[in-house]
Amino acid sequence: MKINSTSINNGNNTSPHLSINLANLSSLEETLNYHFKDKAILMQALTHSSFAYESKEKDVSDNQRLEFLGDSILNMVTADYLYKKHPTLSEGELTRLRALLVNRNNLFKKANQINLGQYLLLGKGEEKSGGRGNLTNLVGSLEAIIAAIYLDSDFNTTQRFIIQMII
């Protein structure tokens, strides 16, 4: 079963494996200050590989490809922002500053500030091992959300999100 808008219907999920409902998504969207046109892409951004693997519906997609794209977008937006904001800094100084902003610990802190862990779709083992608070899971999901916003909207909207929420 592909996760799509029809599988996210007012908390009456069509799949017993979906542990998130429309009210939860709305709450996350309010926190993100972005409302998705395509709720399925948000669901994919929140889907850990363990959930996709354990799902009885074999075509559930995880967030790994979105994480890849989001990481690249985050780095590009941050580099552009710093380049324009700090015209006198050297390449090395800009690189160090960017690294401070987009490092895993800073992204983990940002993900925790928005309680991202409560929205993740995790497999049973990942859930039992504390996956909702796992640095890698939270950072990956935040990067996936960046990509989801980009694919759901445009570069400028994504850039504003990153500047407001991360930088």
Check if the beta carbon of residue 124 is closer than 8 Å to that of residue 49: no
Classify residue 59 as exposed, middle or buried by CB count within 10 Å of its CB (0-12, 13-18, 19+).
exposed
Closest CA to 64 of 78, 52, 75, 55: 52
Band of residue 164 on the pLDDT scale cut at 50, 70, 90: very high
By three-state DSSP, how is residue 121 classified? strand
The sign of the dihedral angle between the CA atoms of 145, 147, 151, 156 is positive
Q: pLDDT above 70 covers what percent of the chain?
A: 86
Lowest-pLDDT choice from 19-28, 66-75, 79-88: 19-28
Q: Which of 149, 62, 143 is nearest to 110 (CA)?
A: 143
Predicted confidence (pLDDT) per residue in 118-132, tens digit: 999 999 999 999 999
Residue in 145, 166, 112 with CA at minimum distance from that of residue 36: 145
What's the mean pLDDT when you consider all of the chain?
89
What is the C-alpha to C-alpha distance for residues 60 and 58, in angstroms, rounded to an integer? 6
Catalytic residue annotation: 71, 143
Flag whether pLDDT at 12 surpasses 70.
Answer: no
33 Cβ neighbours under 8 A, 6+ residues apart: 161, 164, 165
Task: Sketch out the chain's domains with CATH numbers.
Answer: 5-165 (1.10.1520.10)
Cα–Cα nearest to 65, from 89, 44, 50: 44
Q: What is the DSSP code string of 138-151?
A: HHHHHHHHHHHHHH
Q: Report the C-alpha gap between 103 and 21 in whole angstroms.
A: 31
